A and B are shown apart, each in its own frame.
Chain A
Amino acid sequence: MADTHNKEVDQVSGVETTGHEWDGLKELNNPLPKWWLYVFYATIVWALVYWVLYPSWPLISSYTTGVLGANQRLEAIQAYDDGVAGRSEFADKIVAASLEDIAADQELLQFALANGQAAFGDNCAPCHGSGGTGSEGYPNLQDDTWIWGGTLDDIHTTLLYGIRSDYDDARIGEMPAYGRDELLSKDEINQVANYVASRAGLETDEGVDLAAGQVLYEDNCAACHGDNLEGIQEVGAPSLTSANYLYGKSLAAIKAQVTNPRNGVMPGWADRLDPATIKSLTVYVHSFGGGQ
């Protein structure tokens, strides 16, 4: 503290000095503005109050929780629950309505499409792509080729129980491994694959007996893929004349599939997503435009 009894005032600036002197230089006394100091004191008080009210001091194995009981994790959980509750009005309507009614009702359709879009990004996009265009081995949901049917009900069933999944109600269609299990010889596979390729509008190998291929097709493949290669939805056998092949449209891909077929698996969602979300997804996927 400076001695306040005999204040020395600096001649030049007219400011009193603190009385400190170094080599003839005197320190002027220009204190901080009062309001500035008071704001600083207020921040200290603020901190003390904050310690009491909110979680603040770490202890050995816990922390001081504060008397207000604020907890951001609980707040986040609460916010999520509030969100679910906020959607419940529509979600209940969606559960109650039939799929056709949802598609016909303007309000429900808007909600289902928005809800479906969000759920699709979270659950379906990893395989089917963010736009539902799929990729090799993962079906394209945008086009009009549907291995298991593209009506609202078909899509809904597929979503609930998946394809070749562990659900009892899952749709299962196994293509025999003609090459791996030696049901057909290499030459025969070559013939039948070339026959299919010719019908599907692909280039065929030179000098392959397509007539023999046709006979092989009718004996081995037509039961599932149909006499005219049009595919049979009930057994999940895709059309072979379609422009869109699940495992790639080329002669080599056809040979590979006949020799050692891939049977892709889609998980079921009945136990993972709530009914309203599954219905929303159904309507959303159907709205891509490929739905039947």
Chain B
Amino acid sequence: MATHGLFRRIKWTLLFITLGIYYFLPFIRFDRGPDAPSQAVLIDMEAKRAYFFFIEIWPQEVYYLTGLLIIAAVALFLMNAVAGRIWCGYLCPQTVWTDLFLWVERKVEGDRRERIALDKEPWTFGKVGKRATKHFFWLMIAWWTGGAWVLYFNDAPTLVWQLLTFQAPMIAYIWIGILTSTTYLLAGFMREQVCIYMCPWPRIQAALTDEKALNVTYRWDRGEPRGSLKQNKKLAAEGMPAGDCIDCYQCFQVCPTGVDIRKGMQLDCIQCGLCIDACDNIMTKIGKPTGLIAYDTDENIERRIEGKEPVYEIVRVRTVVYAAIIALVGAIMLFTLLNRDFADISVLHDRNPVFVEQSDGTVRNGYTVRLSNKRRHERSFMLHVEGMPPNTLVEAVGVDSTFAGRPIISVGPDTTREVRVLVTSPPWAEMPHSTPVTFRITESVMGEVITAKDTFKAPEKP
């Protein structure tokens, strides 16, 4: 049922912002130079790179995603500690898309009464037309939702053109199909069933909320005993107790999950505040103060009955700790991002054989070394193996250029190179069974230094 008021306005605003970001973000351009994609937000599966404005991450840096997920989780906890399931009520995709679908339904078929009547009508031409129109718009929105999703994985304008001319890769059509059907089903038909039966979040939140969290609360201390407007006026005139609730059922009819909030806190309530708006409208009409239903705590109802002032403690240990965790993780992520290395080395010691004894008594170890160059131009690195005796021979297979016996390995722009490195002990050295060594690469221009630890193995001396 249509409603209007403060919380409804907040919901519309958030819907515009979130869906606006979702649908149009892929089209924002961001110049990264000639041989890099110029899409601001892009997950390039083929090249194994993810871009976010000025940030570019490689698959091995996927821990940034871990950080984002931790922040997201703790932000949910924080929301819950402040005001219960407000995530569900305002920001959850299920809620947002359902809201949009309901709006379409209202525009096409009319408000609650008209829709109830339409359901009862026999199948006339007009009814079929209305239903068809509704489903057409639903499917269009759903299709556009699936379409926007795939745009994050490929250059958006190009892909849109490919999709229109039926030249896009099959995988894009498959994903659009999957997400179109899920959007259509979940927002069009499942709706509150998702929140009540499918989603795990309502099960968890009982552990995350407490008596100080602001939940949508029916102030029964003011509302009861409920009765019709006439009846309660009569009771009041006689000096009998009479509540402000006039039993108009508006709060129940606007509720997206079909909860009667006057029964108190329930699992299905998603804290969206629509019943507050509906009730406030009624209270204004009958000349009573608003806030019969409001974001409040059970504790405060008790306090008011006892004649004390209500307390609102948004800042308390729980919320401060959550906020601190978010700040900490965010700071760690920012720090690692600012100090991100633009080169990397990983070393893998040969396992078979672990070492090779040569005819002249020297010992050789083989390593697979992978160098990463995260800059967009070719760079070369000097490889030095520390921890070995002097005159140790270090060779990189397929690399001819050396400096003072140290291989100079060039790595192409924004890519990795794997080289086999052979380390041979000098003839006079008696190598112990295991020697810790450090592979150090030094970038030739900026002098960036990256190290990796490994060992040099030799036969065990009896």
Using CB atoms and an 8 Å cutoff, list the residues of chain A in contact with chain B.
103-104, 106, 109-110, 113, 129-133, 140, 142-145, 239, 241-244, 287-290
Q: Contact size class for B?
A: 20 to 34
Most buried by A among B352, B357, B364, B398: B398
In the bound complex, do residue B359 and residue A289 qualify as a contact, i.e. CB atoms below 8 Å apart?
no
26 contacts between A and B (CB under 8 A): A103-B398, A104-B398, A104-B400, A106-B417, A109-B398, A110-B418, A129-B352, A130-B352, A131-B350, A133-B352, A133-B353, A133-B356, A140-B356, A142-B356, A142-B366, A143-B364, A145-B358, A145-B359, A243-B358, A243-B359, A244-B359, A287-B420, A288-B366, A289-B364, A289-B395, A290-B356
**Taking chain A's interface residues, is the majority helix, strand, or loop, or is none over half, making it mixed?**
loop
6 new A-B contacts, CB < 8 A, other than A243-B360, A287-B420, are A144-B358, A145-B359, A287-B398, A289-B395, A289-B420, A289-B424
Query: Shortest Cβ distance from B244 into chain A, in angstroms?
Result: 38
- CB < 8 Å: which of B351, B357, B400 contacts A244? B357
In the bound complex, do residue B398 and residue A144 qualify as a contact, i.e. CB atoms below 8 Å apart?
no
In the bound complex, do residue B356 and residue A143 qualify as a contact, i.e. CB atoms below 8 Å apart?
yes
B397 at the interface (CB under 8 A from A): yes
The chain B residue sitting closest to A110, CB to CB, is B418
In the bound complex, do residue B366 and residue A289 qualify as a contact, i.e. CB atoms below 8 Å apart?
yes
Query: Shortest Cβ distance from A239 into chain B, in angstroms?
Result: 7
- CB < 8 Å: which of A106, A140, A142, A145 contacts B398? A106
Residues in B with CB closer than 8 Å to A133 are 352-353, 356
B422 at the interface (CB under 8 A from A): yes
Give a binary string over B404-438; 1 marks a CB under 8 Å from any A CB, 0 the rest: 00000000000001101010100000000000000
Query: Shortest Cβ distance from B353 into chain A, in angstroms?
Result: 5
- CB < 8 Å: which of A129, A239, A243, A288 contacts B361? A243
In the bound complex, do residue B352 and residue A131 qualify as a contact, i.e. CB atoms below 8 Å apart?
yes
A109–B356 alpha-carbon span in the complex (Å): 23
A167–B73 alpha-carbon span in the complex (Å): 70
Interface residues of B in 325-370 (CB under 8 A from A): 350-353, 356-361, 364, 366
In the bound complex, do residue A289 and residue B356 qualify as a contact, i.e. CB atoms below 8 Å apart?
yes
Give a binary string over B90-106; 1 marks a CB under 8 Å from any A CB, 0 the rest: 00000000000000000
A55–B364 alpha-carbon span in the complex (Å): 57
Contact status of A113 and B359, CB under 8 A, knowing A142-B353, A287-B397, A288-B366? no
In the bound complex, do residue B357 and residue A243 qualify as a contact, i.e. CB atoms below 8 Å apart?
yes
The chain A residue sitting closest to B395, CB to CB, is A289
| 5 smallest beta-carbon distances between A and B, as pairs | A131-B352, A242-B359, A289-B422, A142-B356, A133-B353
The chain A residue sitting closest to B354, CB to CB, is A131
A115–B400 alpha-carbon span in the complex (Å): 22
A239–B359 alpha-carbon span in the complex (Å): 9
Give a binary string over B421-460; 1 marks a CB under 8 Å from any A CB, 0 the rest: 0101000000000000000000000000000000000000
